Structure 1
Amino acid sequence: MLLPSFYITTLKNNSQVRIRLLQWEDEEKLLAYFASFSPETRNRFGPHPFDASTVHQICTNLEQDDIQRYIAETLDGKQIVAYMLMKHGTLEKDAERMHTYGLDTLGNAFTFAPSIADSYQSSGLGSIMLTYILASLPARKIILWGGVQASNQRAVSYYTKFGFHKVGTFEYHNGTNYDMIREPT
């Protein structure tokens, strides 16, 4: 399905945000977004480093990679308040774990990693953004990028609400993590 290039929505707190794809001009705003993370949010979201070099590489190579990077920004365009990645395919480490569970993900899955600014968590933004993203995807499996920390019950509930289910557990430096998958609907 072809979606509009942006989507404006009203959140539970009556603030409005614009959802769209990340653009190269967003480099400074994305770096500021990562800098605003609380230690807990920084610990929970980790698909890539949050440093200036990584952000520069992301923003200058948007057309060359297989990742769609969605943001939500304030209507004045000054601040990013959410950042979600949807990669076509599966990361090697995730695919290896899926294989140990008897699941084949090669070529037929997407990998998802969401983050929401601390001040916008529990505002409904995560649900609105994922619904927007899912509307643009073909029916395929979606795997959580690096799983989800078992201690992050709010995230586990969010994924479950969207049809993700646990397929296995693994230990990582933060403790027990769940691998979760959303099957095509």
Structure 2
Amino acid sequence: MTLRPLTHADTRRLAEFLGALSPESRRFSTFGGYDLATARELCDAIARYDKLRLVLEDVPSGRVVGLLEFSLALTPADIARYQDAGLRLTETTDCRFGPTLADDYQGRGIGTLAFPLVTEVARLLGRPRIILWGGVRADNPRAIRYYEKNGFRPVGFFTEPDGSLSLDMMLDLRPAPGRTGLSTRRGHP
């Protein structure tokens, strides 16, 4: 597997990736469509907006098997929901993150293997806190477990426009107060 920035040359492979997503995966994603037009729109937006899109590519086949999206902009709805939960979001500290994996790659540990790279990207972007892009659907326990396993903490529930329940979650990459972030082992400085 390779995690790399989305390029214009990925348009057709990205369209194949989007088109192959199951109805269940589509229900959990935030794309406006799952076709070549959407893939073109995503690729045409490269370096135009506040977003960074990375693809997870199966190297032997060249197949796109994941799309990981970062946004440096926060929506008014995100800011309001987190404020209601007692957290102040700012565009200098926070970014939004949303992953989508091909159905046949879900549950295989690929997302967990890629996650250290996700946190490194956030750090390189100067964002020590990551919130979920659109939250996570409350009826998606596998995704909630994935986020919790990778350090995200629940912030609060909210109702989607379609009436379904979603959960906001946040990952704070800064060391806990009183910790330097350096680990020591007994007998080793």
* Range of TM-score over shorter length: 0.7 to 0.9
Are 1:170 and 2:135 matched, yes or no?
no
C-alpha distance in 2, partners of 1:176/1:120?
26
How big is the shift at 1:137? 2.5
C-alpha distance in 2, partners of 1:78/1:184?
32
C-alpha distance in 2, partners of 1:62/1:23?
7
Contact 2:68 2:98 survives alignment (8 Å): yes
Aligned to 2:119: 134
Contact 1:167 1:180 survives alignment (8 Å): yes
Q: Render the CA deviation track for 1:139-163: whole Å, top value 9, x for unaligned.
A: 5111101110111101000000111
Q: What RMSD over aligned residues (CA atoms) do the two structures have, in Å? A: 1.6
Once the two structures are overlaid, the 10-residue window that deviates more, 95-104 or 109-118, is 95-104
Of the three residues 137, 147, 151, the one matched with 1:149 is 137
Unaligned runs of 5+ in 1: 1-16
Aligned to 2:4: 20
Once the two structures are overlaid, the 10-residue window that deviates more, 113-122 or 86-95, is 86-95
How big is the shift at 1:60? 1.7
In the alignment, residue 148 of structure 2 is paired with which amino acid?
T
Unaligned runs of 5+ in 2: 175-189
Are 1:63 and 2:47 matched, yes or no?
yes
More strand by share: 1
Contact 1:47 1:146 survives alignment (8 Å): no
Aligned pairs for 1:77-156 within 5 A: 78-107=62-91, 108-138=93-123, 140-156=128-144
Q: Render the CA deviation track for 1:30-64: whole Å, top value 9, x for unaligned.
A: 11101001110010111543343332122122011
Q: Secondary structure of the residue that 1:135 maps to in structure 2?
A: helix
In the alignment, residue 23 of structure 1 is paired with which amino acid?
T
User: Percent sequence identity over matched residues?
Assistant: 28
Aligned to 2:168: 179
Once the two structures are overlaid, the 10-residue window that deviates more, 116-125 or 85-94, is 85-94
**Pairs aligned (count):** 169
In the alignment, residue 152 of structure 1 is paired with which amino acid?
N
In the alignment, residue 176 of structure 1 is paired with which amino acid?
L
- CA change 1:99–1:32 in 2 (3 A) is same
C-alpha distance in 2, partners of 1:119/1:166?
27
Report which of the two structures shows the higher radius of gyration computed on alpha carbons: 2
How big is the shift at 1:106? 1.9
Normalised TM-score (structure 2): 0.83
How big is the shift at 1:78? 3.2
C-alpha distance in 2, partners of 1:38/1:49?
13
- CA change 1:47–1:174 in 2 (3 A) is farther
Q: Secondary structure of the residue that 2:47 maps to in structure 1?
A: coil
- CA change 1:80–1:130 in 2 (3 A) is same
How big is the shift at 1:169? 0.4
Contact 2:52 2:69 survives alignment (8 Å): yes
Q: Secondary structure of the residue that 2:153 maps to in structure 1?
A: strand
How big is the shift at 1:86? 1.2
